Every structure is written in structure tokens, then in C-alpha cells.
Structure 1
Amino acid sequence: MPTDSRNWLRWPLMLAMSALLCACGFHLRGSANLPFSSLYMTFAPTSPLGIELKRNIVASGNTKVLPSAEGAEVTLAVLSETREKVILTLNSSGRPSEYMLYYRLTFHVIDAQKKELLAPTLITLKRDISYNSSQELSKDAEEVLLYRDMQTDMVQQILRRLAAIKTVQTAPQEPVTMPAAGAATTPVTAPADVPVK
């Protein structure tokens, strides 16, 4: 079959696949609705993960990300954030031929009264990547893309955990007043149709 014919067939096939995805209810991941109105995060100002997470939270429209803990309903405190590259396999020359990339984040969430709403939580993501010294530049670029993909995945996992937090909001109770000592109390009388013994 000529190449031109293949190109003409490819577009209808792609359109059909798109239509099937829409028909089966496939949707892009949206912003999470968080159960609090304001949030402070302890990420460094230049943290790529913190920047992407803030962008997603702001996009939800119902939660503000504040620049300090003062006035914030809850605080997301980052306990540790690490990236690691571990050798998986070696080739016949004893050089690495495959790596595993790890991205780990530990955090917890507290409210304005320092009460822990979410206990310290560890999220670990990993991706494997092959290595070839003759393609070093392309492999470096692939590693950057994999970490970026893990970062996006990490943001979604954090949002899911934040959305699942149950904030305790207690309604104000009516004050209970006790009669003063020696004060007269209203006697309890029986209904007229009930004989008093």
C-alpha cells in the first residue's frame, strides 16, 4: 500500500479512537475540590513540585494558597523530598544498562491549632530507564521527562490525599445555665387527668 494511502487511513482511525474514548466516559484529570478554604505549604519558593501543586490548587477556585501560615486553615508541611537513581542491571562489560528512578515525598497536614489532620505520609514513585553510552544526551533528556512525569503524578496523589481529609467543624453549643443556690424552682405539676397519689 502506498505511503499516501496509509496517511489517509491514519486520520480517520485516530478520530474514531478519540470518539470511542469520549463515549466511554474518559476525561482528563481535573482539579480536586479541597475541604478547606485556605492552605499554606512549606515547599521552597522555587520548588517545581510546589509550584505545580499550587497551580492545581488555585485552579480549583475554592482554596487559596497563602504565603505564610498566619491565617491559613491548614498547613501542608514537607518533611522530606528526595530523588534517587539506582542501578538495576549491568551489561557484559560491567557497566550500567538500566536504572530505576525514585521520587519520594513525606509530608503531613496540620490545622491552625497544630492538630494533625493527616499523619506523616510517604509517597514513593518509580520509573525504569535504560542506558546507552552512545545515546547519553537523549537518555539525559529522557530522565528529565520521567522525573517531570513523576512530579505530575505526585501532584495528583497529594491532591487526592488532601481532598480526603475530614476537617472537624464543631457547631457552637448553647450555654447551659444552672439555677443559683437557694433560687426558687418551678414545681412540676401532674396533668389534670392523672390522679396524684
Structure 2
Amino acid sequence: MKKIRKIVLIVVLGMLTACGYHLRGTIALPAALKSLYLFGASGALHAETKAVLKASDGKLAISPNDAGVVVKVLKEDFRRRVLSVGSTGKSSEVELNYYLRFQFYDSKENPLQEEQTIEISREFFNDQTAILAKENEENMIQSEIYRQAVRMMMARAQAAIENQKP
């Protein structure tokens, strides 16, 4: 009976890998993106980039000379804006806006693409009867915004690398 379970498990795992299944959060990175240097980023963007690279068998380089691609963050801004106020005078609807402007370089400081911009906006209802839960929700939304920005940045970096090939 144990042999049959092992065989079934091996067959299922083989089928999963054959169909292109991969763990959530992983990105198929080209060789040049396996080592990336991030310059001028906030702590949250840096941490999320490191997590995405780690999940995809990549790493953040210690210096620009060790990296296949250098990302220079030119401007980064995260804003919270109240959209509506309830009868108690407290915010009932909030908008989170994230703005990121950056440029890709190779290890020799040659630009790979023009400056790129990413703008992400999310709205959520801020229920004043569940303040702790809404604070956690806001933190989760911020994390998801950073994760989406990193994924968009990686996709653009991959396009920049592919456009450089003769």
C-alpha cells in the first residue's frame, strides 16, 4: 500500500511540474535578472524586491558591478488620501496611491530603457467600528501594492533585457 502511495505521489508531482505549475510568487527570470541591484528604494520596496527575487531563485546584488541589471529609483511616493468622512468626523473611505519612477541600467551604467513610471491606486472602506482590523487591512493592501509594483518592474526589466539583444 505504501508503494502505491509513493508512486501516485511521484506521478502527481511529475504532472504538476510538466503542466508549468510553479509556486505562487515565482517569476521565470532571465539570467541577467537573477542578480539585481536596487538603488534609492524605500525599505518596503527593497524588502518586497528581495522576497520576489528569492522566490524566483534570484538575489539582490551587493554592488552594481555584481548585478546583471541595476534599478535606479528616481522618485517613490506613497500617499494616503481620505475620500469621505462619516458623521463622527472620521474617515470612512480611503485611497492609497503609490508612484514609482525608475530607470534600468546595465552593470556598466549604460541605460537599458527610458525612465519608467508605475502608478497604483487602491480604495477601501474604513469601518470605524473595527479599527484594528482596518489597520491590518490597510497594511495588507500596502504590501500588495508593493508586490504588484515589483512584479511590474520585473516584467519591464525583462522586456528591456530582451530588447537589448541584437
Q: Distance in 2 between matches of 1:60 and 1:162?
A: 14
Structure-2 residue corresponding to 1:8: none
Q: Distance in 1 between matches of 2:163 and 2:139?
A: 37
- Kept after mapping to 1: 8 A contact 2:25/2:55: no
Secondary structure of 2:120's counterpart equals strand
**Equivalent position to 1:127, from 103, 114, 122:** 122
1:38 lines up with 2:35 in the alignment? yes
Structure-2 residue corresponding to 1:110: 105
- Which deviates more from structure 2 when the two are superposed, residues 29-38 or residues 159-168? 29-38
Structure-2 residue corresponding to 1:53: 49
Q: Distance in 1 between matches of 2:90 and 2:50?
A: 40
Q: RCO greater where, 1 or 2, for CA within 8 Å and sep 6 or more? A: 2
Larger radius of gyration: 1
Structure-2 residue corresponding to 1:10: none
Return the letter of the residue paired with 1:110. Answer: Y
Unmatched 5+ stretches in structure 1: 1-21, 171-197
TM-score when normalising by structure 2 = 0.71
Change (3 A) 1:93 1:65: closer
Q: Distance in 1 between matches of 2:87 and 2:79?
A: 24
1:87 lines up with 2:82 in the alignment? yes
| TM-aligned CA deviation for residue 77 of structure 1 | 0.7
Alignment of 1:5-84 (within 5 A): 28=24, 30-34=26-30, 36=32, 38-43=35-40, 47-61=43-57, 63-84=58-79
- Kept after mapping to 2: 8 A contact 1:35/1:167: no
| TM-aligned CA deviation for residue 103 of structure 1 | 1.8
- Kept after mapping to 2: 8 A contact 1:35/1:163: no
Q: Distance in 1 between matches of 2:141 and 2:149?
A: 12
Change (3 A) 1:113 1:70: closer
How far does the alpha carbon of each residue in 1:81-123 deviate from its partner, in whole angstroms, 9 at most, with x for none? Answer: 2211112123345543211011222111112332211222111
TM-score when normalising by structure 1 = 0.61
Unmatched 5+ stretches in structure 2: 1-15
Between the aligned residues of both structures, percent identity stands at 27
Change (3 A) 1:152 1:78: same
How far does the alpha carbon of each residue in 1:29-56 deviate from its partner, in whole angstroms, 9 at most, with x for none? Answer: 5313235153211155x82321221232
From the two aligned structures, give the one with the greater helix fraction.
Answer: 2
1:101 lines up with 2:96 in the alignment? yes
